[in-house]
Amino acid sequence: MTSPFLADAQARMKKALDHTLHEFSNIHTGKASPVMVESVMVESYGSMMRIKDCAAISTPDSRQIVIQPWDKGTLQSIVKGIQIANIGLNPRVDGSVVRIGLPEMSKERRQEFVKIAQRYAEEGRVQVRNVRRDVLEAVKKAKLPEDEAKRVEKDIQTATDKSIAEINTHLAAKEKDLLTVG
């Protein structure tokens, strides 16, 4: 039987891991990906919405993103939204679509992205450790029998180690991806 403390810790650690992976997905590796722009907010019909909610996003090749709005009237809003988002992309209108060409990344730029990924990973590890600390405090306050408390603490430490190892694995993959030219 899983203790409610362990279940809580695992759920919160998973959130920390998911958040870290989401941050990793926002670091572009020089390869075009719809993820790079899909959550950029644009003004459409008087309200703000994500690009993926008002346009089709495709990557015809590894150096280009093409955004085809469902309503041609939103072309300029999409360009403006991408520029305002300040994500280092330079959109241009090409007929009825927005094209974004990705420049070749320099070695320095790749190293910069690796540092950002490492920072996100460390933030994720800190979040996981904070969850561990909070849950262990709750275990102490619950005044469980000593043997049960020890077992729960051990399980929480195991969950912590597993979450941190998973963050490290994803970081290593992201670093490899960022440093691979091609």
User: The CATH number of the domain where 125 resides is what?
Assistant: 1.10.132.20
Residue 55 pLDDT: 92
110 and 22 both lie in a single domain:
yes
The structure's pTM equals 0.68
If asked whether residues 21 and 110 sit together in one domain, one would say yes
18 pLDDT tier (thresholds 50, 70, 90): very high
* Residue 1 pLDDT exceeds 70: no
Domain boundary among 101, 123, 144: 101
Quote the domain boundaries for residue 135.
4-26+106-179
CATH number for the domain spanning 40: value is 3.30.1360.40
- Residues 22, 49 within the same domain: no
Q: Say whether both 110 and 175 belong to one domain.
A: yes
Residues 119 and 145 grouped into a single domain: yes
At 114, list the tokens: 């690796």
**Averaged over 15-34, what is the pLDDT?**
84
- Average pLDDT on 28-44 reads 81
46 or 139, higher pLDDT? 139
Whether residues 95 and 39 share a domain: the answer is yes
Do both 11 and 55 map to the same domain?
no
**Four-CA torsion 53, 56, 60, 62, nearest 10 degrees:** 0
d(CA 52, CA 58): 10
Per-residue pLDDT band for 111 (boundaries 50, 70, 90) equals confident
The mean pLDDT value for 154-172 works out to: 97
Q: Are residues 68 and 130 in the same domain?
A: no
Last residue of a domain, one of 86, 101, 116: 101
The pLDDT of residue 35: 81
Question: What are the φ and ψ backbone dihedral angles of 41, each rounded to 5 degrees?
Answer: -85, 135
Dump pLDDT digits (tens) for 56-109. Answer: 999 998 889 999 999 888 899 999 998 888 777 889 999 999 999 887 778 888
Confidence at residue 33, expressed as pLDDT on a 0 to 100 scale = 82
| 120 shares a domain with 87 | no
Last residue of a domain, one of 49, 84, 101: 101
In degrees rounded to 5, what are phi and psi of residue 94? -135, 90
The stretches of 56-145 forming alpha helices (DSSP H) are 75-85, 107-142
161 shares a domain with 126: yes
Count of domains for the chain? 2
